[in-house]
Structure 1
Amino acid sequence: MSRTVYLNGEWLPEADAKVSIFDRGFLFADAIYEVTGVIGGKLLEYAGHSARLKRSIAELGMELPVSAEELLEIHREIVRRNDLKEGLIYLQISRGAADRDFAFPKEPKPTLVLFTQAKSVIENPKVKTGMSVALLPDWRWERRDIKTVQLLYPSMAKMQAMEKGADDAWLVEDGFVTEASSATAHIIDKAGKLITRPLSNAILHGITRASVLDIAEEAGIPYEERPFSPEEAKNAAEAFITSATNFVLPVTVIDGQPVGDGKPGPLSLKLRELYIAHKTASAI
Structure 2
Amino acid sequence: MNEHSTFQRLTAELTGTFLLVLAGCGTAILSADFPTAGHQQVGVGFLGVAAAFGLTLTVLVFTLGPVSGGHFNPAVTLGLAVAGRFAWRQVPSYAAAQLTGAVGGAALLYVIAAGRPGFHAASSGFASNGYAARSPGGYSLGAAFLTETVMTMVFLAVILVVTGRNASPGIAAAVIGGSLMIIHLVSIPVTNTSVNPARSLGPALCAGGGALAQLWLFFAAPLLGAALVGAGFPLLTNRRAPGSRQHRDTHRTDTTNATPVPTVA
Confirm or deny a common fold (TM above 0.5).
Answer: no
TM-score range, shorter chain: under 0.3
Larger Rg: 1
TM value normalised by structure 2: 0.28
Higher RCO (C-alpha 8 Å, min separation 6): 2
Between Structure 1 and Structure 2, which shows a larger proportion of helix residues?
Answer: 2
TM value normalised by structure 1: 0.27
